[in-house]
Amino acid sequence: MPDVDCVVVNRDGGDALFRALASLTAQTGVDLSIVVVDNASSAAERSRLARDAPFARILPLSANRGFAGAANEGIAQGRARFVLLVNNDAVLSPDYAARLAARLSLDERLAGVQGLVTTSDGSRIDSAGLAWNERGEALPALAGQDPARAPADPFEVAGVSATAALYRREALAAVAPDGDVFAPAFFAYYEDVDLSLRLARGGWRFVCEPAAVARHEGSRTGRRTPVRRALWTCRNRWRTLFRNFDARWLAGRLGHLLRADLAHARQLGWRGILLPLVVWPALPILAFRARPAGGLLLNWPEVSPRGLRMHG
């Protein structure tokens, strides 16, 4: 059976966390080890973990390091060929990890695979991978659609969501020689988008395996602080763009990029004014700190019937 290291990042996930862990212990066809990286949850949550999750290794952090920093800690704990990242509010079908591992084993060009992630009631697709729009936003592929209308066969995507994705450790090591798979500065949101772009720039590819199904409650942690979540998402989207796309090419599309922020600001109501006021003045600093390496992109990643097209 394939060796798989599973990393679950948690911060006061409550019952949802233990439903996720129960689905992980029920995985078949893989040799799965589980580490829960706890981002300074409450004492009650940590006591419950110690009592009710003896099958998992618990890695308690003294401070909340966000998804990026905590996931890096968990990934560093293992040595298995494959690394499974699972949100603390995602429930996997029993064959989920095995199906993804089989897909990675069949194609050495693949860096990551995810299944068909639906809403918690299974009525709609939450994510089938990553896709890009003309405003420079990474969006969940097929989001909102009826799962019955999803392709029956595996299909290529522009990247995978760390909600429930299996990565090839060799690929992660290739883009993270210092050990930080996710850039710690992201803290939370868009860190998996940035990782997918870095992997794609290195020649790696991604697939959605629709026969593997997971259910996702959806940003359990982020719902507690919607304004902060919006600020992080906005900031990290720009950070991702500056790290992976040619600056002059981005400048030519600046109007589209700014309109994406304004659209999100309107969704927040009067509090949305914080997005442009806080993030836009910081854009020159974010661009300077990005210091991107070569092989920058000159177009949004696009999946065609012939595969992924990456210009630049």
Structure confidence by residue, pLDDT tens digits, 268-298: 888 889 899 999 999 999 999 988 877 899 9
**CA gap 274, 232 in Å, rounded:** 11
pLDDT at 178 over 70: yes
pLDDT at 205 over 90: yes
- Of 28-37, 193-202, 300-309, the poorest mean pLDDT is in 300-309
Taking a C-beta distance cutoff of 8 angstroms, is the pair 92, 146 a contact?
Answer: no
Q: Residue 228 carries which side chain, given as an amino acid letter?
A: R
**CA gap 151, 216 in Å, rounded:** 20
pLDDT at 227: 86
**Assigned fold of 3-113+151-207:** Spore Coat Polysaccharide Biosynthesis Protein SpsA; Chain A (3.90.550)
pLDDT at 216 over 70: yes
**CA gap 117, 143 in Å, rounded:** 9
Burial of 122 (0-12, 13-18, 19+ CB in 10 A): exposed
**CA gap 193, 87 in Å, rounded:** 15
pLDDT (average), residues 62-91: 97
Taking a C-beta distance cutoff of 8 angstroms, is the pair 110, 207 a contact?
Answer: yes
pLDDT at 306: 46
Q: Which residues pair with 127 in a beta bridge?
A: 117
Nearest to 13 by CA among 187, 219, 232: 219
Nearest to 162 by CA among 74, 286, 243: 74
CA distances (Å), 145 to each of 89, 103, 123, 170, 275, in order? 20, 24, 9, 33, 29
User: Other CB atoms closer than 10 Å to residue 147's CB: what's the count?
Assistant: 18
Q: Residue 2 carries which side chain, given as an amino acid letter?
A: P
**CA gap 175, 191 in Å, rounded:** 13
Taking a C-beta distance cutoff of 8 angstroms, is the pair 27, 96 a contact?
Answer: yes
Q: Which residues pair with 265 in a beta bridge?
A: none
Taking a C-beta distance cutoff of 8 angstroms, is the pair 19, 26 a contact?
Answer: no
The helix (run of H) or strand (run of E) holding residue 205 is strand 205-216
pTM summary value: 0.94
